[in-house]
Amino acid sequence: MTLLTQFQSAQPILVALGDPSRQAIISAMLENGCDTGMRVGDLTQAVALSRPAVSHHLKILRDAQLVRMEKVGTKHYYYPSVFTQLDAMQHLLDALKEAQHA
């Protein structure tokens, strides 16, 4: 896989993590614990953003597969799933190291 392909593969992750509000959301979720889901209301209090803003950022994080959502009845719980994307990031870092030493 070429370096450009590695970048393209990791782009959704890089874009999602590049925003300070999304970084705060991920941090709040991880500090809350990976097994404990958080609702939008919980996250709005934790990161001091409006509900629409948190929902917008959660959609981007979900699209990048950094957050997953589970529905329990009428409630939606969000969980961090950053570990599933660590491989893509590690492949990019390895490709960058290789390219630098080539």
Q: What does the pLDDT average to over 61-90?
A: 90
Q: Going by C-beta distance under 8 Å and a sequence separation of 6 or more, which residues neighbour residue 27?
A: none
Hey, is 35 helix, strand or coil?
A: coil
End-to-end CA distance of the chain: 15
**Cα 94 → chain centroid:** 21
* Interval 15-24: pLDDT, tens: 999 999 999 9
pLDDT at 35: 81
| Structural domains of the chain ordered from first start | 3-101 (1.10.10.10)
pLDDT at 4: 86
- Count Cβ neighbours within 10 Å for each residue of 66-99 and write b for 16 or more, e otherwise: bbeeeeeeeeeebbbbbeebeebbeebeebeeee
pLDDT at 3: 82
* Interval 28-58: pLDDT, tens: 999 998 788 999 999 999 999 999 999 999 9
